[in-house]
Structure 1
């Protein structure tokens, strides 16, 4: 949560620090409210969506007003945002007064209810920030392996004690459990293999290092089996994370969706067939497009113009693939839909 809080400070202060603009320049919504009070559960993307047609254009606003930012502050539930008409256009700013945040008596003293709001739904992407997700071929086959439990059970889960082989003692006591997943292929380049997905199964804590080490399963999200492999816990830093459009043309494709569903909607995770080798970076906002082919009245195939059906925000990048959160969708998104610079 710390990194997302830092992001919140940068973005929201940028967005509402005495900003003036016209509706035509940035694209104000027609139904913008005169004032809005931040409530628990809000995100900066969601609040910006109440005022801007394209909330990802925050960086443009921030760049135009960089000199106005003096004392960045966090945005909390109860803060009030107001919109004013000035000779230069409409102006968004933080009101000096605070609104009343109504909480249930049972949670009135809960600290979590008054945390600074995040940029996007933090719970949606946090599980993906410290998992390998994509690995090179054969890497898991060389990783420490779960040998089993003392009672020789087949299926293992949270709370079980397990034994691990080939475990080094110099990489910490918290390890994640993975199983080989499917190969990720690039449909635009003869289905060349971009990498292999690692299926996250859970987390273990090492209680004793030895030739055969002992561990306790602290979390399981799927069944853990003999032969599953361990990788050390890692952490991806996104302190410089800022939603923005790429400054170069991007034409990529959705090649997979987390959870294996057929239709993709808002707040779902997708895999793209481009990564850092293609200059994709965390924070890139990409438009999702659907290609529609029909037959004319004469029965001839006709390719219609691509139709924009959503927005995706890249939050983690590997060499040849990246992961994005679907932020908006006007219809069901599908694997093989295109993503482009908006």
Structure 2
């Protein structure tokens, strides 16, 4: 088994501070990269205020466990929901163990969480209540051995959103129209699959070229579908259908040739090899440079901006009318509206329109909109964002309203 040997610096910590021994160990032992997850000033301020007194017991779930051992496969959302009625109130969960877990993104499988209740308030610790109350706990230098690659808990299950971090692409019409395109295949093949070779051209005046130091990887798209605001009908952007990836082998060139006694210049398209396919490709499909893999850390929280007019704009990759739990939807708000990854929104299903049979006039009335579930934004573009449905009662429809979960 691969192991890592790492010395700990000496730390002296008063036990009266709810035993920050674990915090000291984390701060000195964890890789620097793991300690750089973002924590906003607002989240830190809320957590610090909560850490002083804990949270009211009324905010706990009815079955909040007194002791819980973090398991492989857990998520921060699930652990938060285990203790709090409102899982998006993540800073409160962090606040309950602020003295012991300085970085809330670093909760590892195998850690034990202890729920302490006192005076109608609750706090969450990583050591048993009362441990170390006798005085100062001192940690001496020692060797720590653990498995390489043991990662802290993710906010959400990676398998639920990883495919969507690369596949959905919202672009504007000029960008798509100016993207390089597949123009030919070997042996006049109609469809292309992995391992096939094809030829591509860039837009006028921008030939595809191999540039030293730049990635040769491209993504292939087709049929950009307009995303419309369900309220106004306005086009918010175009969602391109992801087909797969291609590698640029040779750049586009111009060759001089002699034909019928005349010297001509002929365009020789770039050569690309298809390296991965989700669906078969064909002449006319567009290519866009493959972006770097995103490393966003999702911190569930209530939106800090007004959601006036926010609605579900489309259901991604689905031929059905209703979206279910763990499906992805687009919403008609993006970065220009202040929408950020991690925002949790409540989904409201529109109330039915019925005839009031108790009214002699048979008036037509609309029942109230009802809260149906929660979604969390995980990717934002200028005017559109993608959200994962976290919980749901009935199917989510295009046009459903989105509001703050508070």
What is the deviation of 1:35? Answer: 1.9
What is the distance in 2 between the residues matched to 1:22 and 1:88? 6
Name 1:235's counterpart in structure 2: 292
Match of 1:181 among 219, 224, 246: 224
Q: Any gaps of 5 or more consecutive residues in structure 2?
A: 1-30, 129-145, 203-207, 254-268
What is the deviation of 1:87? Answer: 3.6
What is the distance in 1 between the residues matched to 2:355 and 2:94? 47
1:288 and 1:337 in contact (8 A); partners too:
yes
Match of 1:297 among 328, 347, 357: 357
2:375 and 2:389 in contact (8 A); partners too:
yes
Name 2:388's counterpart in structure 1: 325
Q: 1:60 to 1:82 in 2, by over 3 A?
A: closer
Count residues in correspondence. Answer: 324
Q: Any gaps of 5 or more consecutive residues in structure 1?
A: 97-108
Moved over 3 A (4+): 4-11, 13-19, 60-73, 109-112, 235-241
2:109 match: secondary structure: coil
Q: 1:169 to 1:120 in 2, by over 3 A?
A: same
Name 1:266's counterpart in structure 2: 325
Match of 1:193 among 235, 259, 272: 235
Matched, 1:86 2:122: no
What is the deviation of 1:159? Answer: 2.1
1:125 match: secondary structure: helix
What is the deviation of 1:120? Answer: 0.7
TM-score after normalising by structure 2? 0.71
Write the deviation string for residues 8-58 of structure 1: whole angstroms up to 9, x where unpaired: 8969x979989832123xx21111122222222211101111111111101
Match of 1:54 among 86, 90, 94: 86
What is the distance in 2 between the residues matched to 1:224 and 1:32? 51
What is the deviation of 1:286? Answer: 0.7
Q: 1:71 to 1:136 in 2, by over 3 A?
A: closer
TM-score after normalising by structure 1? 0.83
Q: 1:279 to 1:64 in 2, by over 3 A?
A: farther
Name 1:284's counterpart in structure 2: 343
What is the distance in 1 between the residues matched to 2:155 and 2:105? 14
What is the distance in 2 between the residues matched to 1:118 and 1:6? 14
1:56 match: secondary structure: coil
